Structure 1
């Protein structure tokens, strides 16, 4: 028996925050398209993740043989806000995830690293939101983004 599923453009759209784990390096990103298309771009020779590995990784290690990918679709965001706010709020949520993980690594160490990379006791976030972090959005939207980021991380810890 075979399962066949087709996709149209609408199926490929959404609001996503995603994670690329490779050894001690962690990349967090966001996209408005299904995540696998964004991940592929990261692994090209000129891709952002590839560049970050060259910049922050140990040149004696093969980071590409030890990659785990995780994607979170922000379905509530699309229900709670009009379409014109989706990209901005996805970026705000991504930034908030960065902030939360910068404050404390212990929960991610316990849930992910102890299971998949037990020799690592500290990870480095190599992605950067300084250029994509929204400016001048209302406080209520930042509160939404911060709460959503905490919810994402709680679910990710549980999922892993």
Structure 2
């Protein structure tokens, strides 16, 4: 995985049927390390959702989407626009949860941090692209797990 160290990203952390969606202004690898610590958001949320799943030796998948469009903006706007995109991706996942198989539960939450709107018309389009990249990954995994991949 390559990417700039200080750049806007949307990321997902997946363990079994749970997904955590977040945003960061630094390389996601450093953010993921924080999430896996005992006090990390992913760890706390997963333990709340399913203590047994957290304890299982299940694969944890990390996805990241580089938000190049946001990186073109002034540094001051990166965080709020990335938070807007993150929230819109959450909304799309919530509305389409049955299509996210094997995902059954979204353990992250953006209600506290979500900006009300984005001043850029392309914001919603970028959120759709990010959502579709997550869907592409999940559909590829489903095909591989069902023995239908080449």
Tell me whether the two structures share a fold, i.e. TM-score over 0.5. Answer: yes
Q: Are the equivalent residues in 2 in contact too, given 1:35–1:71 (CA < 8 A)?
A: yes
Structure 1: segments with no counterpart, 5+ residues:
1-6, 114-121
Aligned to 1:33, what secondary structure does the other structure show? coil
Aligned to 1:99: 91
Aligned to 1:125: 106
Aligned to 1:158: 136
Aligned to 1:34: 27
- Give the structure-1-normalised TM-score: 0.75
Aligned to 1:53: 46
Aligned to 2:70: 77
RMSD of aligned Cα (Å): 2.3
Structure 2: segments with no counterpart, 5+ residues:
141-150
For each residue in 1:45-93, what CA deviation from the matched residue of structure 2 results, as whole angstroms up to 9, or x when unmatched?
A: 11111111111114366355321110001012222x3222111000000
Aligned to 1:88: 80
C-alpha distance in 2 between matches for 1:124 and 1:34 = 25
Aligned to 2:38, what secondary structure does the other structure show? coil
Q: Are the equivalent residues in 1 in contact too, given 2:43–2:54 (CA < 8 A)?
A: no
Q: How much has 1:26 moved relative to structure 2?
A: 0.7
C-alpha distance in 2 between matches for 1:123 and 1:150 = 20
Aligned to 2:46, what secondary structure does the other structure show? helix
Tell me the number of residue pairs that the alignment of Structure 1 and Structure 2 aligns: 137
